[in-house]
Amino acid sequence: MKFFSSLIKDFSAFTEPYNKKKYAYNGQNCWKDIGYNEVIMQRDTAFELSGTGFNLITSSPVESGVTVIGDDLGDITESRKFARVSLVQLEQQEDEQKIYNLIRKVEYVKYHYFPEGYMMRTSSRSHKEAVRVSKKAVKNGISFETAGNLLIKKYMENPAVKAVNVVFVTDHKLDYSKLEALALKGNGITEALNHIMNSVKFDCETCNLKPVCDEVEGMKELHFKSMGM
């Protein structure tokens, strides 16, 4: 399961110079999930976070926990850029269709994640992610640690998910365009897998996904295998 390996290396190298706060995963220390996407009005909003959110999938070992690069929720006083990157370790799979299905299921987790006072807006066709945090939630002590623990717990409802590290980024000094570029590459990988696993026939030389297949380890082999070549 090496499709996202180069992106994981790039992400680790990019974030390595920045100070990090790390919290081990604690499933008993989760922010409350209210079971639906709460609507937070502007008058009740402490601040908004806007940027990108995406998953990086691997079968290599991941240490479950929450990593914060920049200010925590309780220290933010105005709207700013942010990013949420989830490093998700799946159990080793040999069947490509199962791998693809698991990647899709991991992606769907964000649509079943409803922290109280933390309204997340996202799209199935985009890596964009925006969060509106309520004044009440800040007053009650919401943090990336507790919100992240809840998200990890949601991921791990799937028995194939073995570990998750959720990285929240709010540091002003960070170049968010580079994270957005990583997210776009991740989307390209998932889109290419979607074409291959659904047996979409196309001319490699004219396909707009050719750069992805050329760059990502194992993608060409999977494509040829699916076409019986």
What are the residue ranges spanned by the domains of the chain? 15-173
Q: Does residue 192 sit in helix, strand or coil?
A: helix
Residue 132, pLDDT score: 97
Residue 205, pLDDT score: 52
Structure pTM? 0.85
The overall average pLDDT reported for the chain is 86
Q: How far apart are CA 55 and CA 180, in angstroms?
A: 12
Residue 90, pLDDT score: 95
> Closest Cα to residue 127, out of 171, 188, 175?
188
Averaged pLDDT for residues 52-69: 95
> Closest Cα to residue 86, out of 188, 154, 171, 13?
154
- pLDDT per position as a tens digit, 1-24: 677 889 999 999 999 999 999 999
Q: Does residue 25 sit in helix, strand or coil?
A: coil
Q: How far apart are CA 89 and CA 56, in angstroms?
A: 9
Check if the beta carbon of residue 165 is closer than 8 Å to that of residue 64: yes
pLDDT-derived band at 207 (thresholds 50, 70, 90) equals: low
DSSP type of residue 94: -
CATH class in words for 15-173 = alpha beta
Averaged pLDDT for residues 177-183: 94
Residue recorded with tokens 């994981």: 8
Q: How far apart are CA 83 and CA 53, in angstroms?
A: 6
Q: Does residue 95 sit in helix, strand or coil?
A: coil
Averaged pLDDT for residues 31-53: 96
